[in-house]
């Protein structure tokens, strides 16, 4: 069970770590100052969640490592984030669409994890859920504002949804790890969350006057480590280079 729990904690922590890094790339580049600050704060929130998930993962692993070790000293094939989180930012609309699609999942799964039989998981979820609730409200409002905005903003948001939707399904894939955690009462089966997720997304997209693609195909490989996009390697090169170049360096 400890191996399955470690895998699950890495999945949760890697999602927030990689997406947080992506969002942080907007710092100093957002279209207006208010959005610049908001995106930076979102990235910080995700990083804080990463610290909790990977910190617990390191304890479960039992090799004397820390959250920093798992963040900075693993190679791409050891990461368990879904592919959605590692995709390039694109324009502002695509960034916020990606954020909403992840936020909707995060707020849904955290709601169930607060009742986890694993006390630490429940405590982390309870804290993270408060931030996730704000994140999904903000990203949903932005998606609606841009989707139901000008002709250009609507076109950009529809293009963003069309591009990102094939990456959504991976968040609900189930494997032996998920089955073990579900049977032990630690975490829900991702498949069981899909209906609730879809209801939330459909409501927001309808308000945004956007059309959800009907093609059921979705990319896979990230959450199992079997296959990542080329983009993850570039992220890790940027994120890990200092610790790799100067092992053990501290400020």
Encode pLDDT of 37-91 as tens digits.
Answer: 999 999 999 999 999 999 999 999 999 999 999 999 999 999 999 999 999 999 9
Find all residues with CB under 8 Å of 242, minimum gap 6, and list them. Answer: 249
Find all residues with CB under 8 Å of 246, minimum gap 6, and list them. Answer: none
Look up the CATH architecture of domain 2-245.
Up-down Bundle (1.20)
Domain boundaries, the chain: 2-245
DSSP labels, the chain: -HHHHHHHHHHHHHHHHHHHHHHHTTTTTSSSHHHHHHHHHHHHHHHHHHHHHHHHHHHHHTSS--HHHHHHS--GGG----HHHHS---SHHHHHHHHHHHHHHHHHHHHHHTT-SSHHHHHHHHHHHHHHHHHHHHHHHHHHHHHTS-HHHHHHHHHHHHHHGGGTGGGG---HHHHHHHHTTSS--GGGGHHHHHHHHHHHHHHTT------------TTTTS---HHHHHHHHHHHHHHHHSTT---
pLDDT(127) > 90: yes
pLDDT tens for residues 159-201?
A: 999 999 999 999 999 999 999 999 999 999 999 999 999 999 9
Find all residues with CB under 8 Å of 136, minimum gap 6, and list them. Answer: 100, 103, 104, 106, 107, 200
The whole-model pTM stands at 0.96
């Amino acid at each position: 069970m400890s191996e399955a729990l470690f895998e699950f904690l890495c999945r949760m922590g890697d999602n927030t770590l990689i997406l947080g890094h992506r969002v942080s790339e907007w710092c100093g580049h957002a279209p207006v100052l208010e959005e610049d600050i908001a995106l930076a704060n979102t990235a910080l929130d995700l990083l804080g969640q990463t610290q909790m998930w990977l910190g617990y993962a390191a304890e479960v692993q039992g090799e004397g490592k820390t959250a920093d070790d798992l963040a900075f000293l693993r190679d791409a094939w050891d990461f368990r984030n879904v592919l959605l989180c590692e995709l390039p930012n694109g324009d502002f609309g695509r960034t916020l669409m990606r954020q909403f699609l992840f936020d909707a999942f995060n707020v849904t799964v955290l709601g169930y994890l607060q009742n986890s039989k694993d006390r630490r998981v429940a405590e982390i979820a309870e804290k993270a859920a408060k931030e996730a609730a704000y994140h999904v409200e903000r990203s949903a409002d932005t998606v609606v504002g841009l989707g139901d905005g000008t002709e250009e903003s609507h076109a950009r948001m529809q293009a963003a949804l069309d591009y990102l939707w094939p990456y959504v399904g991976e968040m609900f894939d189930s494997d032996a790890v998920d089955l073990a955690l579900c049977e032990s009462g630690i975490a829900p089966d991702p498949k069981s969350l899909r209906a609730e997720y879809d209801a939330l997304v459909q409501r927001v997209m309808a308000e945004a006057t956007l059309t959800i693609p009907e093609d059921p195909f979705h990319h896979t490989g990230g959450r199992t480590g079997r296959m990542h996009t080329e983009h993850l390697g570039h992220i890790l090169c940027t994120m890990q280079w200092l610790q790799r170049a100067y092992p053990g360096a501290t400020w």
